[in-house]
Chain A
Amino acid sequence: MRKIILVLSILLSGLTAKPQLTGYTPIADLPKFKEQFAVIAKKTETIKSDFTQEKNLSMLSEKIVSKGKFWFKKDNLLRMEYTKPYQYLMILNKDNMYIKDGQKENKVSTKSNKLFQQINKITIDCVQGTVFSNPDFITKVYENKSTYLVELSPIGKALKEFFKSINVIIDKSDYEVTTIEMNENSGDNTIIRFTNREINTIIPDAIFAIK
């Protein structure tokens, strides 16, 4: 699903890539990338993975590392279970979000416009890939020897406030998203790396159940 959206956004973006990112050059064969990406995206029903999240505070030379497990299932089912530095569970099930933080449980309709809940939604959109469908992004694609890099630059005022850019790194060998980098204007960033990926293993819907 996220790949389909990414492909669509690339198709619609009017690609004008310039070399910007260290080690990357504008993609040589964009049609091939789009085609392959669409094929793999169509085939991907589920993703199960571990993840490591790094929050880099550039001016403070600090890195805050979190870890956890990630489950995705078409369409719009997402579970992120943080195990470090503490237990924190987030489930996105269609339009509903569930958060369990220690003993505290919270259910939110993502359709609601409440203050701060939208902030969580943007993060989830990035992880899930639905952020690619946001027309406020300019999308550019680059490549190096082993990966593609899709750079999303916000146009919209609201998103510009949060992100300078979001880079999605895709493995050339299997077209899977390996890394999401959310770059802030301050120079700080958050990098989520996915490891031990299992594609199309059976994930019961109960994993995403919001009780």
Chain B
Amino acid sequence: MYKNLQPATGDINYIQKFKPNFNNALYKAEIDVVGHHLSGLLLIKTLPDSTVRMVFSNEMGFKFFDFEFKQNGDFNALYVVKQMDKKPVMKTLKKDFELILLLRKDTQTSYLRKDGNSLYYIFPKQKGSFCYITDLGGSEMKTMEISSPHKPIVQAIMKNYTDGIPDTIGITHTNFNFTIGLKKIER
């Protein structure tokens, strides 16, 4: 769906500068999954081997999930509460978090595009692509998208970085009611 944009030159790896440094961050999290509202605390921690762990539990300590994202792209759900352990839900959460973790690396298929306002860092996947959109100067990440061949199906923002950690993260699905909102908490 980005094919009609103008070709652009540059280093596709430049986008990695926006990769969040989730050394150890705690967020107030709200996840709405088709009619179900989950709220609680999401801990994101990077282990010494660069594996990123995400643990989501409710205010009373009840764990919903514990995910592991390896640097080589492997994903493991170390724990998922039974009610949430549905293939479409898991697939969606995995992709959404992969998007904000900027796990897609340069490949032979990735490419850059631009229009009058923005640069597009595009990482094709089997059907569609992951796309990171910055201003033309590359100083600001405007939005992140997962797209089908025809339209964006997930849109996400990360803003107000402090020491590489965004204060606010928002993920919205355009094709069904699934949103994730994260607000950083000082511990």
Contact = CB atoms under 8 A, between A and B. Distances in A.
Nearest to B41: A64
A7 interface: no
Contacts of B38: 116
A60 B43 contact: yes
A85 B28 CA distance: 9
Contact of B66 (A66, A90, A186): A186
A64 B62 contact: no
A191 B55 CA distance: 17
Nearest to A182: B61
Contact of B81 (A60, A101, A119, A124): A119
A161 interface: yes
A123 interface: yes
Contact of B26 (A85, A90, A188): A85
B61 A186 contact: no
Interface residues of A, number: 34
Given A60-B53, A120-B60, A115 B83 contact: yes
B78 interface: yes
A36 B163 CA distance: 56
A209 interface: no
A106 interface: yes
Most A CB within 10 A of own CB, among B41, B45, B55: B55
Given A64-B26, A106-B37, A115-B36, A123 B60 contact: yes
Given A62-B43, A62-B45, A82 B59 contact: yes
A43 B37 CA distance: 39
Nearest to B83: A115
Contacts of B62: 119-120, 122-123, 162, 190
Contact of A120 (B55, B58, B66): B58
Interface of A: 53, 55, 57, 60, 62, 64-66, 80, 82, 85-86, 88, 90, 101, 106, 114-116, 119-120, 122-124, 127, 158, 161-162, 182, 184, 186, 188, 190, 192
25 contacts: A55-B41, A57-B43, A62-B24, A62-B45, A85-B26, A85-B28, A85-B186, A85-B187, A86-B28, A88-B59, A106-B37, A114-B36, A115-B36, A115-B83, A116-B36, A116-B38, A120-B58, A120-B60, A123-B60, A123-B62, A124-B60, A127-B60, A161-B82, A186-B78, A192-B61
**Which 6 interchain pairs have the tightest Cβ spacing?**
A190-B61, A123-B60, A55-B61, A85-B185, A88-B59, A115-B83
